A and B are shown apart, each in its own frame.
Chain A
Amino acid sequence: MPMRSIWRTLDRGLARDIGLVCLADGVVGVSYGAISVGGGLPLWVPIVLSIVVFAGASQFLFVGIVAAGGSPIAAMVAGLLVNTRHIAFGLAVSDVIGGGWRRWPGSHLMTDENVAFAMGQDELKQRRAAYWAGGIGIFVCWNIGVVIGGLAGSVITDTDVFGLDAAFPAVLLALVLPALRDRSTRTAAFVGVVIALIATPFLPSGLPVLLALAGLLFYRAGKPALEDAHHE
């Protein structure tokens, strides 16, 4: 999808919402850069990770383990585990990403946020615009934030003070709520949540969320999800 077409398709409200999430991601990027360098890692580590891995949770985990003196191999395995959910995301949004060469940059730009933005739109054209605008915006803001944080050091190391740790679950929740109006999806998601929460104390990060997929045993595909929602 060409850039101009993305902007023409996005309505102003959605563009503003995406912009807000990009900005928040940038601030978290600042904290990630600062934490990494503050933890004793050379500046290139958080920056290279952000460009070539580009998956926030796995990056925090990676630098956390290495900065604490853990093995880079252990950090790598932990990071890979956390990122396994992208397999399911990719299966769900492949038509949104588009075919041909777009699959390459489009796959790399896949994050929780832009997947959720895409799932929240009704038509394919809008899904596509939301996915790409979100992906590109987050990539740019996140990487700029990481460089600033890495260079500035201890400016912002704790974004919890601003409540950003509550903002991100709220962002995803707001975006998935419309889909949860479908009863079958809601049941599957609820079972998944229970499984993930029970598993969290015992399993390494990433696995509990993946186990939530077992909730799909309670999913019954049938009528188009939107129609179902209107009947309730």
Chain B
Amino acid sequence: MNNTPLLLVAIGVLAVGTFSMRFAGPALRSRFEVPERAQQLLAAAAIVLLTALVATSALTDGHGPAGVARPAGVLVGGILAWRKAPFVLVVVAAAATAAALRLLGVP
């Protein structure tokens, strides 16, 4: 299983590829003047991605549903955030809700 040279190549390509994807935006935008409307669209794109990440990481696990405890925790955190509760409370309440439900045997 541990083919070290192959592992090193795979890690190297993943690192270079990931850095290139991160660097592409800053590199491109330093060459072109981006109009205001396009900037708004790019900001919206980041929000759309982050929101989709919230939904998939809250509700799914691999290719299936995530159970009950995790979505419940995120829901509690989300409601608190919506009511403008302090950030620390949002995070701790989300984790505590999921942990407590699991302690009670909820998946």
Q: Is the CB of B10 within 8 A of A88?
A: no
Q: Which segment, of A2-10, A138-146, A147-155, A210-218, faces chain B?
A: A210-218
Which of A88, A188, A210 has the most B CB atoms < 10 Å from its CB?
Answer: A88
Contact indicator A174/B90 (Cβ below 8 Å): yes
Answer whether residue A1 sits at the interface, using C-beta atoms and an 8 A cutoff: no
Given contacts A17-B87, A20-B91, A212-B48, contact A73 B6 (CB under 8 A): yes
Q: For B58, what are the chain A residues with a Cβ–Cβ distance below 8 Å?
A: 166, 169, 173
Residue numbers in B under 8 Å from A99 (CB-CB)? 30
Supposing A94-B25, A201-B64 touch, asked if A180 and B53 sit within 8 A by C-beta, the answer is: no
Given contacts A72-B3, A163-B102, A200-B56, contact A192 B15 (CB under 8 A): no
Q: How far is the CB of A111 from chain B (nearest CB, A)?
A: 10
Residue from A110, A177, A209 within 8 A of B56 (CB atoms) = A209
Residues of A close to B104: CB separation below 8 A: none
Q: Across the interface, name the chain A residue whose C-beta is closest to B6.
A: A72
Residues of chain B contacted by A176 (CB below 8 angstroms) = 47, 50-51, 54
Chain B 59-72, CB-CB to A under 8 Å as 1, else 0, gives: 11011100001111
Q: Find out whether the CB atom of A169 lies under 8 angstroms from the CB atom of B14.
A: no
B residues 21-64 in Cβ contact with A at 8 Å: 21-30, 37-38, 40-60, 62-64
Contact yes or no, A192 B28, CB < 8 A: no
Most B Cβ at <10 Å: residue of A53, A91, A166, A176? A166
A172 with B54, Cβ < 8 A, contacts A90-B26, A94-B26 known: yes
User: Contact between B14 and A209 (Cβ–Cβ < 8 Å)?
Assistant: no
Interface string of A158-196 (1 = CB under 8 A from B): 001111111111111111110110001100111011011
Whether A200 lies near B60 (C-beta < 8 A) is yes
Whether the Cβ atoms of B91 and A171 lie closer than 8 Å is yes
- Chain B at the A interface: SS class: helix
Name the B residues within 8 Å of A195 (CB-CB): 52
Tell whether, in the assembled complex, residue A75 and residue B10 are in contact, meaning their CB atoms are under 8 Å apart: yes
Q: Which residues of A contact B14 (CB under 8 A)?
A: 49, 53, 58, 62, 75-76, 79-80
B44 and A219 contacting across the interface, CB-CB below 8 Å: yes
Query: In the complex the two chains form, is B18's CB within 8 Å of A165's CB?
Result: no
**A92 contacts B10, C-beta separation under 8 Å:** no
* Residues on B with beta carbons closer than 8 Å to the beta carbon of A53: 11, 14-15, 18
Instruction: Check A163–B96 contact: CB distance below 8 A.
Output: yes
B94 to chain A, nearest CB (A): 3
Chain A residue numbers with a CB within 8 Å of B74 are 166, 169-170, 173
**Known A85-B53, A173-B74; 10 more pairs at CB < 8 Å:** A49-B14, A72-B11, A107-B22, A163-B94, A166-B98, A179-B43, A196-B52, A196-B56, A201-B64, A202-B63
14 A–B contacts, CB within 8 A, in A order = A13-B87, A62-B14, A66-B1, A76-B14, A85-B53, A92-B42, A115-B46, A119-B50, A169-B54, A185-B44, A189-B48, A209-B52, A213-B49, A225-B40
